[in-house]
C-alpha cells in the first residue's frame, strides 16, 4: 500500500507540473483583430522644368560645403581629400546642367581651373608648397563662384539641359 501511495503522489505531481497548457492554449478564445485601413498616398509629379531653381539651390549648397570641406582637409589624408574633391566636382557639374549657354561657359572656366589640380589633390603625400598653392586656388574659385553663381545672381539664367 505504501508503494502504491508513493506512485500515486509521484503521478499527481508529474501531472500537475506538466499540466494541460497545450490543451488550454488550444481552446482559449482569441481576440478578433480589426482590419487596419491602409493609408492613401497621393503623389504629385512635378515637372523637372518647374523645379530647376530648387535643384540648382541644392547643388549649389552641396558644392559650397564640399569645397569648404576640401579646403579644411588639405592637410588630411589623401582619401578624404579625394572624396571631397570628387563630390565638389560632381555638384559643380550638376549645377552646370541647370544653366543656360552663357552661364554654362562662365562656369566651365572655373571647372577647368579646379580640374587642373585633380592629380595633385589625390596625391598620397603633398608638400607644404603644393598644399598652399591648391588651397589658394580653391579659396579663390570658391569665392568667385559663390559671388557669380549664387541663386540670386543666376535665377534668370536657369534652364534644364538634356
pLDDT at 24: 63
Mean of pLDDT values over 76-95 = 91
Q: How far is C-alpha 151 from the chain's CA centre?
A: 23
Among the ranges given (24-28, 37-41, 100-104, 151-155), the one the predictor scored with the smallest mean pLDDT: 24-28
Contacts of 126 (CB under 8 A, 6+ apart): 74, 78, 120, 134
21-32 pLDDT, tens digit per residue, is 665 666 677 777
Handedness of CA 75, 77, 82, 88 (dihedral sign): negative
- The domain locations on the chain are 48-157
CA distance linking residue 75 with residue 145, whole number of Å: 23
117-135 pLDDT, tens digit per residue, is 988 888 888 888 889 999 9
Domain at 48-157, CATH from 1.10.10, 2.60.40, 1.20.120, 1.10.1740: 1.20.120
What does pTM read for this prediction? 0.67
Amino acid at each position: 500500500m505504501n508503494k502504491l501511495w508513493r506512485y500515486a503522489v509521484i503521478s499527481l505531481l508529474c501531472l500537475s507540473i506538466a499540466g494541460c497548457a497545450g490543451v488550454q492554449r488550444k481552446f482559449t478564445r482569441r481576440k478578433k483583430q480589426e482590419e487596419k485601413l491602409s493609408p492613401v498616398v497621393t503623389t504629385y509629379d512635378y515637372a523637372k522644368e518647374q523645379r530647376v531653381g530648387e535643384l540648382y539651390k541644392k547643388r549649389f549648397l552641396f558644392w559650397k560645403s564640399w569645397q569648404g570641406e576640401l579646403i579644411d582637409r588639405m592637410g588630411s589624408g589623401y582619401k578624404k581629400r579625394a572624396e571631397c574633391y570628387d563630390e565638389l566636382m560632381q555638384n559643380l557639374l550638376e549645377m552646370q546642367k541647370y544653366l543656360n549657354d552663357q552661364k554654362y561657359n562662365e562656369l566651365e572656366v572655373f571647372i577647368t581651373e579646379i580640374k587642373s589640380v585633380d592629380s595633385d589633390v589625390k596625391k598620397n603625400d603633398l608638400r607644404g608648397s603644393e598644399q598652399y598653392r591648391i588651397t589658394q586656388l580653391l579659396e579663390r574659385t570658391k569665392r568667385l563662384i559663390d559671388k557669380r553663381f549664387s541663386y540670386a545672381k543666376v535665377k534668370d539664367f536657369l534652364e534644364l539641359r538634356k
